[in-house]
Amino acid sequence: MGKMKDLMGRIGRYKYAITIALFLVLICFLDNNNLMQRLKHKREIYGLTKEIEYYEGLRDSSVQRLKELANDSSNLERVAREKYRMHLPNEEVFIIQ
């Protein structure tokens, strides 16, 4: 009985420290929304944000190219010849790589 009373006395002396330590363990590792999951999600959000920025830039350049093609028929013809290898009926096309 003396050992139990001594143990309870020691626990009573550090009860706030023990409670705070258990709370921190719960928050950092055991909860569904723990600190590790939050850091993982932050990294994922950062990567997805970079990917969104890349695709927005790609979209903007495509929209600008589309406007150029819609406004100038010489650009349209140049793209058709270079990218899609189209030609007029009386022309021959030589592809050099």
Query: What does the pLDDT look like over 8-51, one tens digit per residue?
Result: 888 888 888 889 999 888 888 887 788 888 899 999 999 999 99
Whole-number Cα distances in Å, 37 to 18, 24, 28, 31, 50: 24, 15, 9, 9, 20
Angle between helices 2-13 and 15-25 (to 10 degrees): 70
Amino acid at site 43: R
- 1 band by pLDDT with thresholds 50, 70 and 90: low
> Do residues 75 and 69 touch, judged by C-beta distance below 8 A?
yes
Q: pTM for the complete prediction?
A: 0.56
